[in-house]
Amino acid sequence: MENVDKNAIHNTEIVQEMEFSAGYRWQHWIRALSIVVLTVTGFYIAVPFVSPIPNSEPTNFMYALFRSWHIIFGFVMTSVVLYKSYTFIFNSKNKIERDAIKDIFNPKVWLQQIGYYLFITKHPKLSGVYNPVQFMAYAGFYMMMFVLILTGFILYVHVYHDGLAGLLYDPMLRLEVMMGGLAMVREIHHIVMWGVILFVVGHVYMAIFNAVYGKEGAMDAIFSGLKWHKKH
């Protein structure tokens, strides 16, 4: 038995491969921070849960402070989402992400991947960096992000009226009418936010699952960019 184990060790090579570029990792963590800030400030804007300390001077504009941080990180979020969308489509280094599209149309990979999550099959061989379940989840996430961005800009142009807000007012007004009015835009914004929160919970769970069960450094890759693979 001891000889068999030694042979298995000698015949198995652990290799490191670059999974995520520095740009990918930076936009991931900036986006994660933005989601946290936008969620907290968004809840406060909807239902103010903290009151400022009474002051005789008109300086405790806490609602305005929360709203300003919401708008700042809204622009940060918009920037990283547009950056990631551009690199996914046009950057040659992101080809491994685009290759994952092939597996969406392969029922065998779907069945193997679901079986892997249920502990009844091995992990399928993938064409790209994402399995089909991951890819569809990320696609849904980015659809929600674009809805949040558009509805956020509609709400933004009703608060500020100069500069970029003034430039965007007319097109955003048309979208507002198409969505059924400002109240409906706000409702859509809130509902989609809950969709993003649920995605984040599922994303964290699946990241931990793959790191523990897969033992390939899936969690490490988003920090260092490197992932471990067994090569027989």
Q: Is residue 151 part of a domain?
A: yes
**For the chain, which residues score pLDDT lower than 70?**
1-14, 58-59, 214-218, 228-232
Which has the closest alpha carbon to 196: 151, 129, 154, 137? 137
Amino acid, single-letter form, for residue 127: S
Domain that holds residue 182: 23-223
Short-list 42, 222, 32, 41, CA closest to 141: 32
CATH number for 124: 1.20.950.20
pLDDT at 217: 62
Residue 16 lies in a domain: no
Percent of the chain exceeding pLDDT 70 equals 89
Are 230 and 14 contacting, i.e. CB atoms less than 8 angstroms apart? yes
- Contact status, residue 227 vs residue 221, Cβ threshold 8 Å: yes
What's the burial of 167, exposed, middle or buried (CB within 10 Å: 0-12/13-18/19+)? exposed
- CA 146 from centroid of its chain's CA atoms: 11
> Residues 126-140: pLDDT tens digits?
888 889 999 999 999
Question: What is the three-class DSSP state of 110?
Answer: helix
Decide if 146 is inside a domain.
yes
In a domain, 11, yes or no: no
Please name the amino acid found at residue 21: S
- Asked if residue 231 belongs to a domain, the reply is no
Q: Classify 177 in phi/psi space as left (phi over 0), alpha (psi -120 to 50) or beta.
A: alpha
Specify the pLDDT at position 2. Answer: 46
Q: What is the pLDDT of residues 144-160, one digit of tens each?
A: 999 999 999 999 999 88
- Name the domain count of the chain: 1
